[in-house]
Amino acid sequence: MDGKLFSQDFLLKGITDTPAWKNLTTLQLDEFKQALSSIFANLHATSVINEANTESDIIDKVLNLLGWQDLSLKQVTATQKHREDVPDYLLFANSDKKQLAHAEKKEDRRYLHDLCVVEAKKWLRALDRGDETNKLDPSTPSNQILRYLSSVEIASNRAISYGILTNGAVWRLYWQGARSRSEEFLEINLAEALQVKGLAQNLFSADADHLLKVFYCAFQRTAFLPQTWDVQHRTFHAYALNEARLYEEKVSKDLGQKVFDHIFPQLANALAVNDEKADLTSNAYLEELREATLVLLYRLLFIFYAEDRNLLPVKDIRYDDYALRTIREDIAKRRDANDALSNSASKYWQHLSDLFRIISKGDASIGMPAYNGGLFEESRAPILSRVRLSDTVFAPLLDDLSRSVLGSQRELFRSYINYRDLSVQHLGGIYERLLQYSLTVENKTIIARPASFARKTSGSYYTHDGLVQLVIKEAVGPQIKERLSLFNQQLDDWQHKKELKVEDWKTLEAKDPSAAILELKICDPAMGSGHFLVTLVDYLADNILEIMAQT
């Protein structure tokens, strides 16, 4: 399972508690798996199948198994002279809706009765790269589905917000309301789950049966309809999205509280105890210590997040021995077994110090590019370069940042915090709140105390994500439309031309809206943790990819 539309916590655990999951019996799942297996039985990674045959031999049959039989409508197909710029399929809730769509004379009005759109590609075509050898369809499939979703959302009066993109093997579900539509999708690789020959098997933590059951629950027709078992009558997807949001907020809240109350002050004390230049009577030193503790904390949070989201080369075997997750797992195993930790050795601290240096400067020999944003520069926090924390002190703090404690007092157990399912904005919120804490000394012990501004310490000043998106849309949206309008106006002026000369192509290139958007200079003078700017990058990326497909 790939993509970030639904949390891994929900896909691996939460989904098993839903009636949709429980109502699918073992017999029904076996029959579904057997039917899928018969569709994929004669396929191979080297099979050459064009788009039309992929649709008829694979996609149509899979859609039928998912309950869309007789409820799909194929759109106009491509020809050498002209290609209708529409999704390949429309999927309908019922036969009445399909009949109403059939009766519509205008293409756009069909979307008023539609439930979901599907864009189909030939067998195993790359979904995130264009194909210049394909004269009919050279553009990037993932860009196409973003553009289709935007256009059908308007044409359907916002009735359609979901789209499916597939090459027969890989199936993706996109949602128009995602924070970042280009990244937040659900991807299921059926070919891998069904062990199609010639493909590398990469099922991560989910076994094949679980994967196929998730696929059925998320892509079947009834998942797009209000669920009778849900008191709010949400669709299965809306329910799953809400569960992911609740999980994200709970983990963020619990992690934040643990950091504020426990990890932050203990790290500060540990650094001061091991710093030969420590002077707890100096306000200047306490401020330097505070900065060093914040830098260390956010380095760790960055790596936890980046490794869990595969942003660092965790799949590269050369990186294995240097990864944070290597010591994360080792510490967890030793702590659960009550294994002794050294009071003098600093194995874990040294491991992290090396990793910080590798990330800052890069190391091509283990597949690591340089991250030169400043967070990992040694000069940023001199205290961290001159101290060494023993395993006894550092390992428990690292484990507390890595895992959460669950269960009762009698039966405690620790579960890994899934940083993959936390948004950058949530981590930014923790960091932003930490900035409100200062260090003081009481009875020779360092205490972290929040500033007197209760509103800031509670995090209530933090702008809601929906409002952030609205502000960005209203502020930056017109700038994007203006640049696209200039390009479209040029095309309108040339609509009667039979061909374009070299000078004309240069004129068009100079008005390329995607390039023009990248030239925008946007400033958030009170950026804090970068909540607005992070959301802005997602917004710009989605629009640029969509416009690239359009132009």
The model's pLDDT over 286-302, given as tens digits with 9 standing for 90+, comes to 999 999 999 999 999 99
Position 250 confidence tier, pLDDT thresholds 50, 70, 90: confident
Do the Cβ atoms of 346 and 388 come closer than 8 Å?
yes
Can you tell me the distance from the alpha carbon of 510 to that of 71, in angstroms, rounded to the nearest whole number? 45
pLDDT recorded at residue 433: 79
Range scoring the smallest mean pLDDT among 333-347, 422-436, 501-515: 422-436
Residue 160 to residue 115: CA distance in whole angstroms: 6
List the Cα angle 186/71/138 in 5-degree steps.
55
CA pair distance 137, 121, nearest whole angstrom: 9
Structure tokens at 354: 């090396």
Q: What is the DSSP letter of 56?
A: I
Q: Residue 523: CA atoms inside 13 Å, Cβ hemisphere, count?
A: 1
Tens-digit pLDDT profile for residues 197-240: 988 655 344 588 999 999 999 999 999 999 999 999 999 999 99
Spacing of C-alpha 396 from chain mean position: 29
Cβ pair 185, 174 in contact under 8 A: yes
Q: Enumerate the H helices of 362-501 as residue ranges.
A: 382-386, 391-402, 424-434, 454-457, 465-493
| Per-residue confidence (pLDDT) for residue 76, from 0 to 100 | 57
What digits encode the pLDDT tens for the residues 91-100? 999 999 999 9
Residue 259 DSSP one-character state = I
**β-strand pairing of 412-416 with 185-189:** unpaired
Could you give the CA distance from residue 168 to residue 172 in angstroms, rounded to a whole number? Answer: 10
According to the model, what pLDDT value does residue 484 have? Answer: 94
Shortest CA distance to 74 belongs to which of 39, 101, 106?
Answer: 101
The beta-carbon contacts of 173-177 under 8 Å, at least 24 apart in sequence, are 173/5, 173/218, 173/219, 173/237, 174/5, 174/145, 174/146, 174/149, 175/5, 175/237, 175/241, 176/149, 176/150
- Residue 377's SS3 state is coil
How far does Cα 174 stand from its chain's mean position?
A: 12
* Residue 129 DSSP one-character state: S
Residue 105: what pLDDT? 86
Structure tokens at 430: 């923790």
Which residue in 304, 249, 273, 262 sits closest to 400, CA to CA? Answer: 262
Phi/psi for 488 (5° steps) reads -65, -35
Supply the pLDDT for residue 171.
98
Find residue 119's DSSP bridge partners: 165
pLDDT per residue over 28-55, tens digit each?
999 999 999 999 999 999 999 999 999 9
